[in-house]
Amino acid sequence: MQRAKRAIDPLIERSKVVVCVGAGGVGKTTVSAAIAIRAALGGRKTALLTIDPAKRLVDALDVQLDDTLRPIAEIEHDRLHAAMLDAQESSDRLIRRISPDEQTAARIFASKAYRLLSGSAARAHAYVALERLLEVVESNEFELIVVDTPPSDHALDILDAPRRLAALLDERTVGWLLGALRPQAAPLVQIPMLHALHLSVSRMLGVLWGRATTQEILDFFEACLVLRPGFSERCARIESLLRDRGTSAVLVAGATAAGLDRAKHVSVEFERRDIRLASVLFNRSRPKLSISALGTPISGSPELQDLLNRLTTLFEAEHQDRIRSAQAISRFFAASRIPKGIVIPTADVDFDDVHALTRFFAGSQVVERDP
């Protein structure tokens, strides 16, 4: 029996990669899982890469989520695999891949600076999510990869992470830092003014961090010079992947005035970076209310009339809130080049198992910008 079409289906069918972006708390992880399940049930071998999913979603998928892609038992023919991205594991695997030898990799792994940067920084997590995506894409094992980007108040981290990392590891930047940390070894020590500046910075960092910590940072950045070509090459491939026609960046937004104002800013920043947003999903949308019947007077019962008046006040407030939400969606389209979006209604069920997630897009509708 042919399954019912959903508003999300055209996006799934034309994509090889779906990257879900958005602020925290808008249902991004649930949306990512629902897209992946929808694609797998439609016959495509799909990988879902998620970060820090809620416990109920882990329970729903019924699989041990770690950095290894594992099949979801409830989806036939192993069509859906899922992994929870581990920033440290993914970073370690990347270092092993691009290091010229085991000694270089071991030197970096022993660095406290590396552990701090790779395991805790939000922007490092954003880069690792894209690095893991590139790794899965280039394995050619899956027909569709869905990525749930890191939870962050700054959804743009996912766009800027490759460029920022490339800038951090730029040979001139690292070379200047090494000169500051070890001025006697710097190639520019013949220039008196630069040599004096390096000496001043070196003394200041030594006082602030201590000799041992300064040496740790020095060792880390010296090793980074060796890895720079590998990092730069992969950053370029990630940038190319984000701009590929087969990659659909999907903005998940809460269907409220405040949520859509944040989404509008993200949309503008995507356009500024020349990265196409394929669609925006207005999650947990609520239809307008019909409240005319509530104003009908009730004769002979002051208590019931008082109750009705209170209900009418509550419904009127809710009605106005939903009108403001619809107006915010209109403002969003007016400020964006995205021609279409998908409105996902608020559900009256918990998405706590795979079967429930298959119904996530039921009732969803395509909305278009006014001509």
SS3 at position 141: coil
What whole-number distance in Å separates Cα of residue 333 and Cα of residue 368?
8
Q: Give the model's pLDDT for residue 253.
A: 87
Biggest CA pair distance of the chain: 100
Handedness of CA 301, 302, 304, 309 (dihedral sign): positive
pLDDT tens digits, the chain, 371 residues: what are they? Answer: 568 899 999 999 999 999 998 877 788 888 999 999 999 999 999 999 987 666 667 777 777 788 889 999 889 889 999 998 877 888 888 888 888 889 888 888 888 777 766 655 555 677 777 888 999 999 999 999 999 887 655 566 777 776 776 666 665 555 555 555 444 444 444 444 444 444 554 555 554 555 666 666 666 766 777 777 787 888 889 889 988 999 999 999 887 777 787 788 888 888 888 888 899 998 877 665 555 555 555 565 777 777 777 777 777 777 777 777 777 787 787 777 787 889 888 876 777 788 888 999 988 888 877 66
Q: Residue 49 belongs to a domain with what CATH number? A: 3.40.50.300
Q: How many CA atoms lie within 13 A of 36 on its CB side?
A: 30
Q: In this predicted model, what pLDDT tens digit does every residue of 31-54 receive, in sequence order?
A: 999 999 999 999 999 999 987 666
Domain limit, last residue, from 214, 229, 244? 244
Distance between CA 43 and CA 223 in Å, rounded? 45
* Nearest of 294, 319, 318, 320 to residue 308 by alpha carbon: 294
- Per the domain annotation, does 223 fall within a domain? yes
**What is the reported pLDDT for 190?**
46
**Is residue 265 one of the residues assigned to a domain?**
yes
Q: Are residues 13 and 150 in the same domain?
A: yes
Which amino acid type is present at position 159?
Answer: L
Nearest to 170 by CA among 232, 100, 128: 232
Best CA proximity match to 213, nearest among 145, 113, 116, 289 = 113
Residues 50 and 152 in one domain: yes
238 and 255 together in one domain: no
- Choosing from 244, 272, 306, the residue where a domain stops is 244
Our CA dihedral for 189, 192, 194, 195, rounded to 10 degrees, sits at: 50
In a domain? residue 217: yes
**pLDDT for the residue numbered 315:** 73
Give residue for tokens 């940067």: 117
Residue 227 lies in a domain: yes
Contacts of 131 (CB under 8 A, 6+ apart): 90, 91, 94, 234, 238
Same domain, 271 and 322: yes
Clarify whether residues 54 and 143 are in a common domain. Answer: yes
Query: Which helix (H) or strand (E) is 207 found in, with range?
Result: helix 192-209
Residues 254 and 283 in one domain: yes
Count of domains forming the chain: 2
Q: Give phi and psi for 365, each to the nearest 5.
A: -135, 145
User: Domain span at residue 139?
Assistant: 1-103+119-158+246-287+294-371
- Asked if residue 132 and residue 6 are part of one domain, the reply reads yes
**Sign (positive or negative) of CA dihedral 149, 153, 156, 157:** negative
Same domain, 37 and 180: no
Per-residue model confidence (pLDDT) at position 185:
45
Q: 371 lies in a domain?
A: yes
Rg (the chain; Cα; Å): 26
| One domain, residues 304 and 268 | yes
Do 197 and 56 lie in one domain? The reply is no
pTM of the model: 0.78
- Does residue 108 belong to any structural domain of this protein? no
Q: What are the φ and ψ backbone dihedral angles of 277, each rounded to 5 degrees?
A: -90, 120
Burial status of residue 304 (CB atoms within 10 A of its CB: 0-12, 13-18, 19 or more): exposed
269-291 per-position pLDDT tens digit: 888 888 888 999 988 776 655 55
Residue 164: inside a domain: no
**Residue 13 phi, psi (nearest 5):** -65, -30
Closest by alpha carbon to 31, among 357, 352, 266? 357
Judgement on whether residues 174 and 131 belong to the same structural domain of the protein: no
Same domain, 128 and 259: yes
What is the predicted pLDDT for the residue at 187?
46
Position 163 in a domain: no
Alpha carbon distance 151, 144 (integer Å): 22
Give the span between the Cα atoms of 274 and 155, in whole angstroms: 16
Residue 20: what are its φ and ψ, rounded to 5°?
Answer: -90, 125
Q: Residue 317 CA to chain centroid, in angstroms?
A: 34
